[in-house]
Amino acid sequence: MAFFNDITFGQYFPAASFLHRLDPRSKLAAAFCLTGGLLLTYNLYVLAGMAVLSLLVARSGGIPLPLLMKNLRPFLWLFALTWIIHIFWSDGRVLWVVPLTSLVVTREGLALGGIYVTRLALLILYAALLTLCTSPLELTDALERMTRPLKRWGVPTHELSLMLTLSLRFIPTLLEEAQRIRNAQLSRGARFNGSLRHRIRSLLPLLVPLFVSAFHRADELASAMDARCYTGGEGRTVYTRLHFAWTDYLVMTGSLLFFTLCIWL
């Protein structure tokens, strides 16, 4: 159950830092370029540089490293599974044969497993950095502004941006609700440990009230938006207008150069 306490997607960490003062559009563009470059590169030096860059970005944003790194803990099982799959099912130079089986450990499998695990970890860290230094309202405005040209083809860009941002916003709320329901079930004598079969069965009394609570919150949100005469993006104004500064152009140029470097490599 460490998943409920560790993941911070959708949470905003307020601070008066260089990273928080950037235009949300430049942060989104940089995030797209960096994650796109991560999905393209297999170079260990580039991945190591990206890991160092994530730490520097967190430091410049005043984000505590323990708060950022705790996002990796719920995905340790995914990292282990990814590495095991590449170790035993990749062709290459055989290093060791598992006794009494036909499974072999290859040198190329070890390298590929490490590369894919590093890429997954960095993708999670950069996604967490984006939400930690950008408020949900800023994300909504940035997504709407960046996808505004799609309105010519009838795409409801504002509604889609609002749906995505609300989904991110409610992740920590639902995790907190799940922790509260779990504590209530434990006080009633429920057990969430034991065999794998028992753990799966014990999730039922946790998931059912969680889904009921999620639908109830969604209904309350819809009623609140309707009471405030929300009608969508047509004619909607914004309190804060977005403006690019020279730092935003610098960040976008650097991320674009990195994306080009990954394609070239």
State the Cα–Cα distance between residues 73 and 196, nearest whole angstrom: 20
Using one digit for the tens of pLDDT, what is the confidence trace for 47-105? 888 889 888 888 888 888 888 888 888 888 888 888 888 888 777 777 777 777 777 77
pLDDT band at 234 (very low <50, low <70, confident <90, very high): low
Strand partners for 104 = 97
User: H helices of the chain, where?
Assistant: 2-6, 18-21, 24-40, 44-60, 65-69, 76-88, 107-132, 136-146, 157-187, 196-202, 204-227, 246-264
Q: Which of 67-81, 114-128, 167-181, 199-213 has the highest mean pLDDT?
A: 114-128
**Lowest-confidence pick of 209-213, 241-245, 253-257:** 241-245
Domains of the chain, residue spans: 2-142+243-264
Q: Average pLDDT, stretch 121-135?
A: 88
State the Cα–Cα distance between residues 218 and 211, nearest whole angstrom: 10
Give the Å distances, CA to CA, from 73 to 33, 56, 197, 207: 25, 21, 23, 22
For residue 169, pLDDT beyond 80: no
At residue 10, the pLDDT reads: 60
